[in-house]
A and B are shown apart, each in its own frame.
Chain A
Amino acid sequence: MVSLISFLVRRILQGALIILLVSFGIFAVLRLVPGDPARLVLGPMASDQVVEVAAREMGLRDPIPVQYVHWLGAALHGDMGQSYIRAINGSQVTGSHDEFAQAGKAHVLDLIGGALPYTLQLAALALLFAAIIAIPLGIAGGMRSGQWPDKLVLYLGSAFVSIPNFWLSVVLALVVTAQFHLIPSIGYQGFSYTILPAFVIAIEMSPIFMRSLSSSVSGARQRSFVSLAEIRGLSRWRIFFGHILRNAAVPVLNLFGVQIGALLGGILIVEFIFNYPGLGLLTVQAVLQRDFPVIQGVAVLSAVLFVVINILVDLVSTWIDPRLDF
């Protein structure tokens, strides 16, 4: 028990460090960008003096570390600042030229909170599809290495990995929606709008899991204790579920922890293409529009997610294979 708590404490501290590093990194990069955020907020028509005053009030003339500390202080209280671009009512404006309109801008946390459920739904469906594809094929490939399921994993895996996700999106939108009117694609007016984007992401993610699962199942099958188990009298089922799958699960789990970044990246692009109102779309638009507070907020959120998921993965891995010390 003590070792568990000690492990958690250590990992949380390490995770906090990573989150801090990430948030500072992004913060600094954004501030080093040419172009003045204050100008962005007020629009091209405002006079230089007004811009200067606004910039000073927004704290944009302070040295970067100072600005960061301010941001950090506010963030720890739950205030991640306000968007430079979007207004609370949902529209996107670049500010009026005669008044400091920052107050009317949407809060970053609200924006993120609004988009998050859509993305979660998309991610969940995508992972479900990916699991449906990767798990049966991966296991079959591992159990019958050298035979047709293994070859299928190889071919299918290579094919999926070679498909550019944006091209697939375009093709699907063309064929499934425009041609056959089966499933809708652009925007969001109901759950069915999640299906195509989730499918594209699943195609992108599944090959790596398929191959990893196949190789770890095949590796587990070849371990001495597995062949010995049959001699000792254990039934095939027992050996498969109780031993082979257990041992094969750990590398695949670890892979999952690392692939979170790729998953988020995929979500970003796919949401952008399908105009799906999730975090991905929000982020891409924010970057293209130089909406720094939003970018900052999303980066921090993704770092938090990465840390949390990796801690969970380690916990589950150690539960499955107690050799892995905390």
Chain B
Amino acid sequence: MVETLLSLRGLSIEFVRGSDRRQVLDGIDIDVARDRVLGILGESGSGMTTLAKAMVGWVSEPLHVTGGELLYRGRDLHDLRVQREVRSKIGFIGADPGNAFDPTLPVGMQIAEKLRAVRPDIGDSAAQKRVIELLDAVRIPSAKSRYSEFPNQYSGGMLQRAVIVDALIAEPELLICDNIIQPLDVTVAAQIVRLLRELRGRISAGIVFISTSVPSVAEVADETLVLAGGRIVERGEPMEVAHSPKNPITRELVARTPRIWTGDEIAGEPHHDHERPILQVQDVTKTYRKRDRQTFFGHQNVQAVRGVSFSVFRGDNFGLVGESGCGKSTLSRLLSWVEKPDQGSIMFEGRDISTMNGRERLAMRNGFQLLLQDPYNCLPPHLSVGRSIGLGLQVHGVRRKEIASRVRDVMREVGLSVDDLHSLPVGMSAGQRQRVNIARALVLEPRLMILDETLSALDPVEQSRLLALFEQLQVKHGLTYLFISHDLAMVRRVCTRIAVMYLGKMVEIADTSGTFYDSRHPYTRALLSAVPTLDANPYKPEECLLDGEPPSPIDIPPGCSFASRCPHAFARCRVETPLLREHKPGRLAACHLLDQAPANEAAA
């Protein structure tokens, strides 16, 4: 029996600010039933968040409802009284778990506060007990002590779980999930999706799952709706929509979803070792000292990077992947010599950077450049585009006239209009700003470019455009690239060699097909099993996916740092740290399993 909880009938919502008037949602018809999961697919900007908020009756300035109805069990949800009554029956989970809680109060307390607000009949200690039970049920370790901890002590994944607990604590009939996996790391997102499916079995709520990820929606939903330009353009059974979409917009969305396992050819073979590497990192270590609040003058050591070694050869596209906390941001800072490694060496074109003096290092910066992630903060807001691009040349003492002409040339090359020479970054889009960033680095004629999550903040269309630009520039200037990214799909498309990082160490380095089809480290497999994909994943999540979180970089246990979460860990793993070993030419992994049963290799 289908029990309809929420009904949207021809709902239209407008955005009005000053003279700016836009239709955000246009004639939306949706029914949400109990015990069913409704997936809503769309691109960012299609009105998803507005729709999510509208479903809980949250429509505030500068948004206005201009038509249609919103009914909860037949009652008008725009009526404030109805809203208040119905609050306890609807749970909402937003896309920004970091800002969902008051940072000055413990998380558990706030969830209990919410419970007692909607169910005043429950007492203090009963509420606390319930919260701890539910925190435990969503697999937050040591739930009891976590109850009294503050939001800043929770990791991103844990916060999202806490928000889920908050939404479910009052046993709602309806749960709205707005883009809940987007801000998370791949493995964490996979865990949350798995959690949602488990919970679904246990509670009988209706769930609305809104996302930009086609595979994730297909995995979770019973029915899929596609939202584009404020309208529902397609409805259907999730697998059908994913594999044979009818509407052209849906088709484009699906087409843009990367195929990892059945897609195009891998990007080509890596270059060979007989050349000298353009960049050689050897045993680099970096530890930060943090004040230990628990003792008088004690310190804690945060081991961000622990003995990392790898080489990048000329013409290669080297990819460095890892999730939050793996140390890749620290490594990036070390590579750009903004900070110095405590141990180990970084050699560029055969010369150790730490042995260079100031002038030599400045000259070296001509040789390799680093592009950062955040398009909105990477450019000084008060310098014009031309001056930003010319900054590097200015530093190197190039004469003004020459600067002007070189800046113009490079702007044309990266696809910026020369008219923008005197514009401020303030009006430019993310893609344009990244182009300015690229121009700034390119104008110095580097030979190596390190791209630190440079494309992560861009939408897929812009990403493809910039990737094409990178390819062009590589051919024209003979560039070598080092991509630091968490986006495995992009890395697969573009890179020739891939290194996987976990908790400050490299756990696997191999050419792309080796990484994807012959991975030897359990973490790599877990990572690959977690990437949402429409084609069949050879790494089954049930076998490979992890539980829990990585250990803190302050208290790294002895032996293999992955042992605490590895499904194949055995005694040796907890005692002896595995070293990176070559198991096939050009493919290295750091795992004790490599020593076991070489016969398994024949089966691979």
Contact = CB atoms under 8 A, between A and B. Distances in A.
Contact of B117 (A238, A246, A322): A238
A326 B100 contact: no
A234 B117 contact: yes
A325 interface: yes
B103 A242 contact: no
Chain A interface, >50% SS class: helix
B100 A231 contact: no
Contacts of A325: 293
B427 to A, nearest CB: 24
A247 B102 CA distance: 8
Contacts of A91: none
B88 A223 contact: no
Taking residues whose C-beta sits less than 8 angstroms from the other chain, chain A's interface range is 20 to 34
Nearest to B89: A233
Given A233-B87, A233-B117, A234-B117, A6 B295 contact: yes
A2 B295 contact: yes
B170 interface: yes
B113 A238 contact: yes
Interface string A116-127: 000000000000
Chain B interface, >50% SS class: loop
Contact of B104 (A6, A235, A246): A246
B99 interface: yes
Nearest to A319: B104
A224 B96 contact: yes
Interface in A301-321: 320-321
Contact of B99 (A223, A234, A238, A242): A223
Contacts of A2: 294-296
Nearest to A9: B296
A57 B92 CA distance: 81
Given A238-B117, A247-B102, A322-B150, A231 B293 contact: no
A5 B117 CA distance: 37
Interface string B48-61: 00000000101010
B114 interface: yes
B100 A228 contact: yes
A225 B99 contact: yes
Nearest to B86: A233
A323 B101 CA distance: 13
B481 to A, nearest CB: 37
B166 A323 contact: no
A3 interface: yes
B103 A321 contact: yes
A231 B87 CA distance: 7
Nearest to A249: B104
B152 interface: yes
Nearest to B99: A224
Contacts of B103: 225, 247, 321, 323
B94 interface: yes
Contact of B114 (A223, A232, A247): A232
Interface in B286-332: 293-297
Given A224-B96, A225-B99, A234 B114 contact: yes
A31 interface: no
Q: Which of A6, A228, A232 has the most CB of B within 10 A?
A: A232
Given A242-B113, A323-B152, A233 B56 contact: no
Contacts of A6: 295-297
Contacts of B152: 323
Contacts of A97: none
B293 A326 contact: yes
Nearest to B98: A224
Nearest to B296: A6
A160 to B, nearest CB: 31
B8 interface: no
A233 B114 contact: yes
B104 A3 contact: no
Interface in A205-241: 223-225, 227-229, 231-235, 238
B118 interface: yes
A144 interface: no
Contacts of B117: 232-235, 238
Q: Which of B60, B94, B104, B166 has the most CB of A within 10 A?
A: B104
Given A224-B96, A224-B100, A238-B117, A233 B294 contact: no
A3 B294 contact: yes
A243 interface: yes
Given A243-B102, A246-B104, A320-B104, A231 B92 contact: yes
Contacts of A5: 296
Contact of A234 (B94, B113, B150): B113
A244 to B, nearest CB: 9
A232 B294 contact: no
A320 B88 CA distance: 29
Contacts of B94: 224, 228
A241 B75 CA distance: 31
Contacts of B166: 232
A326 B105 CA distance: 17
B92 A232 contact: yes
A97 to B, nearest CB: 59
Contacts of B113: 234, 238, 242
A235 B118 CA distance: 9
A249 B104 CA distance: 11
Contacts of A242: 105, 113
Q: Which of A225, A321, A323 has the most CB of B within 10 A?
A: A225
Interface in B244-295: 293-295
A321 B296 CA distance: 22
A130 B103 CA distance: 30
B58 to A, nearest CB: 6
A68 to B, nearest CB: 31
Q: Which 9 A-B pairs have the closest CB atoms?
A: A224-B99, A233-B87, A233-B118, A321-B104, A3-B293, A6-B296, A232-B114, A234-B117, A233-B117
27 contacts: A2-B294, A3-B293, A3-B294, A9-B296, A224-B96, A224-B99, A224-B100, A227-B60, A229-B102, A231-B58, A232-B92, A232-B118, A232-B166, A233-B88, A233-B118, A234-B114, A246-B102, A246-B104, A247-B102, A247-B103, A247-B104, A321-B103, A322-B104, A322-B150, A323-B103, A323-B150, A326-B293
Interface of B: 56, 58, 60, 87-88, 92, 94, 96, 99-105, 113-114, 117-118, 150, 152, 166, 170, 293-297
Given A231-B87, A323-B103, 6 more contacts: A224-B96, A224-B100, A228-B94, A232-B92, A233-B117, A321-B104
